[in-house]
Structure 1
Amino acid sequence: MATREEVGDRKQSVAVVGGGLVGSLQASLLAKRGFRVDLYESRADIRRMEHVSGKSINLALSVRGREALKTIRLEKTVLDKAIPMHSRMIHSLSGKMSVQPYGNKDQCIYSVDRRKLNEQLLTEAEAYPNVTLHFNHKLVRANLDEKTLEFSTNDETSTVDTDFLFGCDGAYSTVRRQMMRWGRLNYEQEYIEHGYKELTMPPNTNGDFALPPNHLHIWPRHEFMMIALPNTDQSFTVTLFMPFSTFEAIETEEDLLAFFVKHFPDSLDKLGVENLVNEFFHNPTGRLISVKCYPHFLAGSSVLLGDAAHAVVPFYGQGMNAGFEDCLIFYESLLSVGDDIIKAAEKYSRTHWRDCHAIAELSKYNYLEMRSHVNSRLFLLFKYIDKLLHYLLPNVYIPLYTMVAFTRIPYHQVVLRSARQRKIVKITLQTGGVVLLVALGCVLFERSGAYLSLRYRILPCVVGCVLKDFHKRLVD
């Protein structure tokens, strides 16, 4: 557990609403700077609950999230209980499996259990002497001028004062709703037409993983897909993403089994028929929402972080990572302005909102890539060129996924840079075509018996000109 030598004796009191992943991390980071933190969570303490309702899709931890955890010295503890995933494992309809690495050999993302991570973060926050956790406290309303918060606690209500409010209470944020009433806050939400159903793939009869564990498994089927992430108990958490109309069309056990035989035949014996039927008809069909808003700071007294500011669909595995990076960016802003919380909030909101909008769009796009494009030969060709150019120009050309998952390049800059790089790939393909035509011409010249030495003069000249033009466009 981290030492607390950075804790000061400041008297400013802040309230963090939401005791999930982002809220509990933010409480620790604020406590490190000496603020007195009250963390309010509407649910009971999950560390004392047998079952926790709500989202349980496995999480993919990457560099942005790791850097935030490192700041509170929790990264190693979390990684010790996580499973590295070095690549996608694509399952074709025929049952063939193919690997698509995420990056270089030393680059991977980590499958982590949402509940366990939340429990670790709550325990870490609670260890600070200047943090108080309040469970079963549901925010009813906030007076942002008076800086008072009204909570419902079972059958009673209570009002508390605070110097500053952090809204970390998720996609359906009460803090955000109060901010919208209080000032000019632009807000946009979108439900996609696809929902999800969570399933479980148990260990095989030997107690081992039913599939190779160090991959994110994907069954892409164009209009829908299934994914599986490994757990430390040798099971997989399986999530089926489909249009709601497809879910609704499966009404009986026979419908379900026929659907899986047709679309996911290699998974049926691993899921188990009885287990599949039970979970499919008993587990709820989840909704997927995308939320954007601006500004994230309002009224000189409140700021939004995590899903409250930018809920994203889960297809880039960046929801948690983006939320953790919010906390880290706010922490870095505090350091840059001498712990002036108002100036830090202004800076955070002014400089970071474009990144939040960008990752929301990237996440929606990646669903199309995962369920359809990964089977495309053209997609694989572009991936190969991506990898080749990154190898040749590692500091100039960085693939989109690498920028998102393995760097802290701001998301909106990732989008701009990726657009430029797509042009480079097109130029590369065009360049390859020109060189091929010139080489073919030289061969024809040689076979005709004329201008035998022409290839030795023309080909290097053309290739040199093409490469010179390529480099100019690359720099531009």
Structure 2
Amino acid sequence: MTKQEKENIAIVGAGPVGALLAVMLARKGYKIDLFESRPDSRAKALYQGKSINLALSDRGWLALKAIGLDEEIRRQAIPMTCRMIHALDGGLTRQPYGKDNQAIWSVSRAGINEQLITLAEQQAGVEVHFEHKLTGLDFNSGTCSFALSHQDAAREAAGASVDYTRELVFGADGTFSKVRRLAQELAGQRISYSMDYMPQTYIELTIPANSDGSFMMEKNALHIWPRKNFMLIALPNPDGSFTCTLFMDLQGEISFESLDEEHKVAVFFRQYFPDAVPLLTDPVATFMAKAPSPLCLVHIDPWVVNNKVALIGDAAHAMVPFYGQGMNCGFEDCRILSELVDKHEHDWPEILPAYQSARKENCDAIIELAKRNFVEMSDLAGDARFLLRKKIEAKFSEMYPELWIPLYSMVTFSPELPYAHALAIGEVQKEIMDEVMNSPDIEQNWQAESTYQLLYQLAQEKLTPNILAKALSNKEINTISDTREVKA
């Protein structure tokens, strides 16, 4: 292959991450084959049993902006500027996500996927192959073997399977990635892998729109019913409905397995979600009819095999949804990879190791943060002392915005700051706030000048010289081409 020639690339998995990657690489002159095991979702509904809403935040928006799709998607998305906490007695507490109406956005999983696939099809050099199920992969030659659906097989002279050989292969095929499983089976490769199932599983419920199409609850909020070991959340849809997700242990005293009769389920909903019951569509019947879906954490190392095959998105780093960063992180993978292609002038033996180096530590960090955030959402979000802690942090951040950005804002609204550094800064912030919250009579003195003097002193001693300086000096780990000043 001459330097002027560009590799032909196969992308396995045409979900949002795979489709976005196809667009980005096609625009750099690569010929892309995008393979999907399922039928075209634009012709057949595919998303039953999976959450139909995703939370899109600044990291995701930055990647969409890079391909010019951000404004089109924003027109169909709903900004959620706060958490709306539903107490057991029906009381409501509003918790803003950030400052100046900063928001995360509720988007349709199917909608954003279909928009990206349509855009991919419009790119020169992209061919999308639906109903192609990966059955084999040669990690030396890049030959991918696919089983075809009956309909596609009838159109293929070769029969019910077909092989494609490409110079590069990306596995963008999700949490239960076939590309990853085949990599694990390679002889002679040192591949470390874990998939951990969380005790929590989930089902989807629905709050419909009012008869006039209006919302039954506050539209611009992510609604949470925190009940310590389980919770219900609700995200708004453009048609006025809410998609609700019940997260609960699969097994245990209060669990999906223990609630095995209709009367038990009815008592459960009346006891723990009394204000939601009148709004939900047939919650008891829906609960009984649905099998709970699992939540998984995926770690694998390396992500790149033979500088020929690489993992991206959930295939490399599946996480639980409690920080709303799964798709955002996958989109950031694509953006960073695209920037590395330019930086290393299409030299893939340089690009792929740099991609893994840039992303692995950061994705491990957001997996950990997402796991921890279940406790905050399901338990602490309704705790008075925790809310006071957040109130103190918010006030201090307003006083010293260049010294203190809350962890949630670093993760969600600071795409120029790597996840790993947000985690490191957050750990030091936690130590500082633990000390502040142990101050005598903090509940009565939280607005006192002495409280914020202590906070400032501790931040200067523990944060600025160490973690923060390191984070800022190493910001190129996550942002290859961005030269803007980072303030944290």
Q: Fold match, TM over 0.5?
A: yes
8 Å CA contact 1:57, 1:239 repeated in 2: no
Q: Give the direction of change, closer, same or farther, for the CA distance of 1:466–1:298 in structure 2 (3 Å limit).
A: closer
Matches within 5 A, 1:23-38: 23-38=18-33
Determine the C-alpha separation between the residues in 2 that align with 1:193 and 1:467.
39
> Which residue of 415, 424, 428 maps to 2:432?
424
Matched, 1:201 2:207: yes
Equivalent residue, structure 2, for 1:391: 398
Structure 1 residue matching 2:170: 3-state secondary structure: strand
> Which of residues 67, 71, 83 in structure 2 aligns to 1:72?
67
Q: Is the 8 A contact 1:62 1:108 kept in 2?
A: yes
Q: CA RMSD for the aligned pairs? A: 2.3
More helix by share: 1
Distance 1:48 1:37, change over 3 A: same
Cα distance in 1 for residues equivalent to 2:407 and 2:313: 22
Q: TM-score, normalised by structure 1?
A: 0.88
Partner Cα distance (2:248, 2:357) in 1: 37
Further displaced range: 412-421 or 14-23: 412-421
Give 1:389 shift.
1.9
Cα distance, 1:51 vs. partner?
4.8
Residues in 1 aligned to 2:148 and 2:453: alpha-carbon distance in whole angstroms: 74
Query: How far off its partner does 1:356 sit?
Result: 1.1
Q: Partner of 1:14: helix, strand, or coil?
A: strand
Q: Which amino acid is 1:96 matched to?
A: G
Question: Is this contact kept in 1: 2:52–2:110, CA < 8 A?
Answer: no
Superimposed CA distance per residue, residues 365-396 of structure 1 (whole angstroms, 9 cap, x where no aligned partner): 00011000111122112111211221122122
Q: Choose 39-48 or 248-257, whichever is displaced more.
A: 248-257
**Which string of whole-angstrom CA distances, capped at 9 and with x for unpartnered residues, describes residues 141-189 of structure 1?**
1001122111111251111110000000011111111222232221111
Q: Aligned partner of 1:180: which letter?
A: Q
SS of match in other structure, 2:408: helix
2:386 aligned with 1:379 = yes
Match of 2:90 in 1: 95
Task: In structure 2, give the amino acid aligned to 1:357.
Answer: D
Unaligned runs of 5+ in 2: 151-159, 466-488
Matches of 1:46 and 1:223, distance apart in 2 = 35
**Aligned-residue identity in percent:** 40
Q: Deviations over 1:88-119 (max 9, x none)?
A: 00000000111000000231000001001100
Equivalent AA in structure 2 for residue 422 of structure 1: K
SS, match of residue 396 in structure 2: helix
State whether structure 2 residue 267 is matched by structure 1 residue 258: yes
- 8 A Cα contact 1:13 1:164, kept in partner: yes
Provide the residue aligned with 2:165 in structure 1. Answer: 161
1:267-286 aligned at under 5 Å gives the runs 267-272=276-281, 275-286=282-293
Report the secondary structure of 1:48's partner residue.
coil
Q: Quick check: 1:173 aligned with 2:155?
A: no
Q: Distance in 1 between matches of 2:60 and 2:458?
A: 40
Aligned counterpart, 1:18: 13
Rounded Cα–Cα distance in structure 2 between residues aligned with 1:72 and 1:106: 25
Matching residue's letter, 1:170 = G
**Among residues 173, 191, 204, which one is paired with 1:185 in the alignment?**
191
Between the aligned partners of 1:135 and 1:473, the Cα distance in structure 2 is 53
Cα distance change, pair 96–44 in 1 and its aligned pair in 2 (3 A): same
Match of residue 344 from structure 1? 351
Deviation at 1:345, TM superposition (A): 1.1
1:333–1:348: 8 Å Cα contact kept in structure 2? yes
SS in 2 for 1:359: helix
- State the 1:405 CA deviation: 0.6
**Any idea what the Cα deviations from partners look like across 1:307-354, whole Å, max 9, x if unmatched?**
100000111111111111111111111111012223111101022101
Match status 1:475 vs 2:464: yes
In 2, distance between residues paired with 1:413 and 1:473? 15
Match of 2:228 in 1: 222
Whole-Å separation in 2 of the counterparts to 1:281 and 1:352: 41
Deviation at 1:206, TM superposition (A): 3.7
Task: Give 3-state SS (helix, strand or coil) of 1:248's partner.
Answer: coil
Distance 1:470 1:13, change over 3 A: closer
1:61 maps to which of 48, 56, 59? 56
SS of residue paired to 1:269: coil
Whole-angstrom CA distance in 2 between matches of 1:463 and 1:224: 35
Q: 1:381 to 1:143 in 2, by over 3 A?
A: same
Q: Deviations over 1:118-139 (max 9, x none)?
A: 0000001000011000011111
If the length of structure 2 is used for normalisation, what is the TM-score? 0.86
Contact 1:56–1:115 under 8 Å retained in 2:
no
- Displacement of 1:229 in angstroms is 0.2
Please point out which of 296, 320, 328 is paired with 2:327: 320
Partners in 1 of 2:389 and 2:5 — Cα distance? 54
- Aligned AA (2:240): Q
Query: Among residues 287, 299, 304, which one is paired with 2:311 in the alignment?
Result: 304
Aligned residues: 444
Give the SS at the match of 1:417: helix
| Contact 1:256 1:277 (8 Å CA) reproduced | yes
Q: Partners of 1:465 and 1:134 in 2: how far apart?
A: 60
The answer on whether the counterparts of 1:200 and 1:235 sit within 8 Å (CA) in structure 2 is yes
Deviates more, 1:143-152 or 1:463-472: 463-472
Match of 2:157 in 1: none
Three-state SS of the structure 1 residue aligned to 2:277 is helix
Is the Cα–Cα contact under 8 Å of residues 60 and 317 in structure 1 kept in the other structure? yes
Which amino acid counterpart does residue 203 of structure 1 have in structure 2?
A: A
Deviations 1:282-306 (A, max 9, x none): 2331111110111111111011000
CA distance in 1, matches of 2:462, 2:348: 44
The CA deviation at 1:50 is: 4.0
Cα deviation digits, residues 36-85 of structure 1 (max 9, x gap) = 00000001111111454452341000001101111110011111000000
Conserved 8 A contact 1:86-1:105: no
Alignment counterpart, residue 247 of structure 2, candidates 241, 244, 250: 241
Matching residue of 1:453: none
**Using a 3 Å threshold, how does the CA distance of structure 1 residues 192 and 390 change in structure 2: closer, same or farther?**
same
Summarize the Cα distance change of 1:60–1:144 in structure 2 as closer, same or farther, 3 Å threshold: same
